[in-house]
Amino acid sequence: MADVTIANMSNMTTLSTDLPPLPEYTLTPMPDLLPFISDFWLSNLAPHVAYWLVSMIFHVIDVYDLFPQYRLHTPDEITQRNHATRWDVARDVILEQIIQVFTVAFLSLTEPVQMIGKEDFDLAVWATRIRLAQRSLPTLLGLMGLNAMSISKNLAASHPMIAGALAGGHYPSLLTSLDGSSGSPVATFATWEMMLAKIIYWLIVPTIQFWLAAIFLDAWQYFWHRLMHTNKWMYSE
């Protein structure tokens, strides 16, 4: 797929012209994680391969009665309570995994090709949001009876970053020139703003996405497993 070049988005609607411009970026297809298999098949098959590998480990532990001191139930208890044969369990698992393979394949094929190259742009967007959020600080401090502008002036010499945040995100010292431009200074982000943007982009957002996906997957597994135990064709009592 040809590279897609996105023009500079600095002309997007903003609340002020003193915001740092957003960088240009070029989108390219994300390369496969491993050279000998596509991410499509890797993401689809790897969980099932891992499942059977781990299952075989537990199967060997069960057959050879390894680590008996760590068993929660004795072999006699397991025999009395477990009325499904290993073949019945394997059949149900294979059925579930076939459904999962087709579901993942369908969802993957309906999604656009995953692209990379926009990371710096997305970080700048988050930094811009942080900069805009600082504009509420004078109002919030004013509600507590504090004069944010006065405090900012007193801290300007010793703590310019704190002073800039208290002033509503105004950092007169954070200016630079764009390459190839006429040399007129433009605003830049503070180091702490970019650091916080990276924490949000690379840590907080992925963590939220992971747990939402885990909750959805766990719910799917729970109700599917429950169905197996309540459906007489799928579960032998």
Both 216 and 122 in one domain: the answer is: yes
Which of 93, 112, 131 is the last residue in one of the domains?
112
Which of 91, 112, 133 is the last residue in one of the domains?
112
Both 222 and 148 in one domain: the answer is: yes
Q: What is the pLDDT of residue 117?
A: 96
| Low-confidence spans in the chain with pLDDT less than 50 | 1-16
Q: What is the pLDDT of residue 85?
A: 80
| Closest to 31 (Cα-Cα) out of 96, 106, 102, 114 | 114
The total domain count for the chain is 2
Both 212 and 156 in one domain: the answer is: yes
Distances (CA, A) of 91 to 59, 85, 99: 16, 10, 13
Q: What is the pLDDT of residue 4?
A: 43
| Closest to 161 (Cα-Cα) out of 146, 174, 149, 148 | 174
Both 56 and 18 in one domain: the answer is: no
Count CB neighbours of 59 within 10 A. 12
